[in-house]
Structure 1
Amino acid sequence: MIKKHRALCTGVAAAAVAAALLAVPSAATASGQPHPGGADDTATASLGRLGERAGIRIGTAVDMAALAADTPYRTEAAGDFSSVTPENVMKWESVEPTRGTYAWAPADDLVAFARANHQLVRGHTLVWHSQLPGWLTSGDFTADQLRDILHRHITDEVTHFKGSIWQWDVVNEAFNDDGTLRNTIWLQKLGPDYIADAFRWAHQADPKAKLYINDYNIEGVNAKSTALLDLVTRLRAQHVPIDGVGVQGHLDTQYPAPHDIADNLRRFDDLGLETAVTEADVRIPLPVDNTEREAQAEAYSTLLQGCLLTAHCTDFTVWGFTDTYSWVPGVFGGEGSANILDTDYRPKAAYTAIRQDLALAAHRR
Structure 2
Amino acid sequence: MKLSIALTAGLVASATAAPTIGAIFDKILNKLSLDQIAKIRGGRYIGTATDVWIMEQDAPYKKITTSNEYSVWTPENTMKWETLQPQQGAFNFTEADKLVSLARKTGKKVRGHTLVWHSQLAPWVEAGNFSPAELKKITKNHVQTVARHFRGKIFHWDVVNEVFNEDGTLRDSVFSRAFGEDFIEWAFRWAHEADPHAKLYITDYNFEGDTPKTKAVTALVRKLKKKGVPVHGIGAQGHFILGNLDGEGMKRTWKTWSDDLKVDVAIAELDIRIPMPATPEKLAAQAADYETVTKNCLAVKRCVGITFWQWTDKYSWVPGVFTGEGAPLPYDEDLKRKPAFDAVKKVLVAGK
TM-score by length of 1: 0.87
Does residue 139 of structure 1 match 2:139? no
**Greater shift after overlay, 89-98 or 61-70?**
61-70
2:40 corresponds to which of 11, 34, 53: 53
Cα deviations across residues 293-352 of structure 1 (Å, max 9, x unaligned)? 112111111111111111111111010001111100000000000111001111001000
Residue among 131, 134, 150 paired with 1:161 = 150
State the Cα distance separating 1:41 from its structure 2 match: 3.0
What is the rounded CA distance, in whole Å, between the counterparts of 1:209 and 1:315 in structure 2? 16
Distance 1:291 1:324 in 2: 21
What pairs up with 1:271-350 in 2 under 5 angstroms?
Answer: 271-350=261-340
Q: Secondary structure at the match of 1:41?
A: helix
1:267 aligns with 2:256: yes
Give 1:173 shift.
0.4
Q: Which has the higher helix share?
A: 2
SS at match of 2:136: helix
Distance 1:360 1:119 in 2: 25
The one-letter code matched in structure 2 to 1:259 is E
- SS at 1:277 equivalent: strand
In structure 2, what is the equivalent of residue 171 of structure 1?
160
Q: TM-score, normalised by structure 2?
A: 0.90
Deviations 1:3-58 (A, max 9, x none): xxxxxxxxxxxxxxxxxxxxxxxxxxxxxxxxxxx985323311111111112110
Hey, what does 1:152 align to over in structure 2?
Answer: 141
Superposition misfits of 4+ residues, deviation over 6 angstroms? none
Q: 1:225 aligns to what?
A: 214
Cα distance in 2 for partners of 1:222, 1:164 equals 35
Equivalent residue for 2:28? 41
Cα distance between partner residues in 2 of 1:304 and 1:230: 26
Q: 2:241 aligns with which of 249, 252, 277?
A: 252
- In structure 1, the partner of 2:348 is 358
Per-residue displacement from partner, 1:117-136 (whole Å, max 9, x unpaired)?
21111000001000011221
1:242 maps to which of 227, 231, 244: 231
Conserved 8 A contact 2:247-2:296:
no
SS of 1:171's equivalent in the other structure is: strand
Whichever residue aligns with residue 46 of structure 2, its letter is I
Question: 3-state DSSP class of the match of 2:29?
Answer: coil
C-alpha distance in 2 between matches for 1:284 and 1:298: 13
For 1:67-146, list aligned pairs within 5 A.
67-79=55-67, 80-146=69-135
The equivalent of 1:28 in structure 2 is none
Aligned to 1:189: 178
Any unmatched runs of 5+ in structure 2? Answer: 1-24
CA–CA separation in structure 1 for the residues paired with 2:36 and 2:159:
28
Take 2:344 and 2:29, find their aligned partners in 1: how far apart are those partners?
A: 12
SS of equivalent residue, structure 2 residue 337: coil
SS of 2:89 mapped into structure 1: coil
- Alpha-carbon separation, structure 1, partners of 2:60 and 2:209: 35
Checking the alignment, whether the CA contact within 8 Å between 1:259 and 1:302 is kept in structure 2 is no
Cα distance in 1, alignment partners of residues 158 and 137 from structure 2: 20
Counterpart-to-counterpart distance in 1, 2:132 and 2:241: 39
Larger radius of gyration: 2
AA in 2 matched with 1:145:
E
Secondary structure of 1:42 counterpart: helix
Instruction: Tell me, in whole angstroms, the C-alpha distance in 2 between the residues paired with 1:315 and 1:328.
Output: 22
Greater mean deviation of Cα atoms: 131-140 or 153-162 = 131-140
Separation (CA, whole Å) in 1 of partners of 2:209 and 2:284: 21
Sequence identity of aligned pairs in percent? Answer: 42
Deviation at 1:259, TM superposition (A): 2.8
Matched residues in 1 for 2:200 and 2:245: separation?
Answer: 30
| 2:54 partner letter | A
Are the equivalent residues in 1 in contact too, given 2:48–2:308 (CA < 8 A)? yes
Name the CA distance, whole Å, in 2 between partners of 1:40 and 1:290: 27
What is the count of residue pairs matched by the alignment?
Answer: 326
| RMSD of equivalent CA atoms | 1.5
- The aligned amino acid for 1:46 is S
- Whether the 8 Å CA contact 2:160–2:187 is kept in 1: the answer is yes
Q: Deviations over 1:150-177 (max 9, x none)?
A: 0000000000000000100000000001
